[in-house]
Amino acid sequence: MRKVMVFNHISLDGYFVDAKGDMSFAQNTKPDTEWDAYVSGNAAGGGTLVFGRITYEMMAGFWPTPAAAAAMPAVAETMNNSPKVVFSKTLDKVDWKNTKLVKADPVGEIRRMKKEPGNDMIIFGSGTIVSQLAQNGLINEYVIIVDPVVLGKGRTMFAGIKENLRLNLVDTRAFKNGNVLLRYMPA
């Protein structure tokens, strides 16, 4: 059975986007070769990338560009060549290479996709989808990068969760740039 993993950055005060819906706080400005190696190695893992419309539009607007290829060639290659699924009721088409548009209910569709053969699925951003899948027990792993920034306002990726979501911490890692990786699995 395929697994679903969430990979998201959050601020110290728990937001994955700021008050304007922007995630650029996660673009670390402190040089850190260990962090860069982690990001490049993580990108090589493959899998089906899962997005909501907003995150898809942001990612599709950056990763296929020459700037992305110059800044992070290994990550750009993986992002562009990986299979992708975008959940949206408002998009009519998707143009990013290897992307499938799904207008169906994310919970039902992910439940169906988990039963199919194939690579695991990784959700980036997409807080609405994360909260829907989390409250339905469909997420197998949460990798959360805590960035050393306080946003003051924003949105959590768990907005709308109706019941406590108990998780077990299975790994931590601190980087010199101040980022801290926390890896959780459902309790």
Structure tokens at 90: 């408002």
- CATH architecture for segment(s) 4-175: 3-Layer(aba) Sandwich (3.40)
**What pLDDT is stored for residue 27 in this prediction?**
82
Helix boundaries (H) for 53-175: 53-62, 66-71, 73-81, 106-115, 127-135
Res. 103 pLDDT band, cuts 50 70 90: very high
* pTM for this predicted structure: 0.92
Given a cut of 90, whether residue 147 has pLDDT beyond it is yes
The pLDDT > 70 percentage for the chain reads 98
pLDDT digits (tens, 9 = 90+) for 21-56: 888 888 867 888 998 888 877 766 678 999 999 999
Residues 6+ positions from 153 with CB-CB distance below 8 Å = 15, 18, 19
Domain boundaries, the chain: 4-175
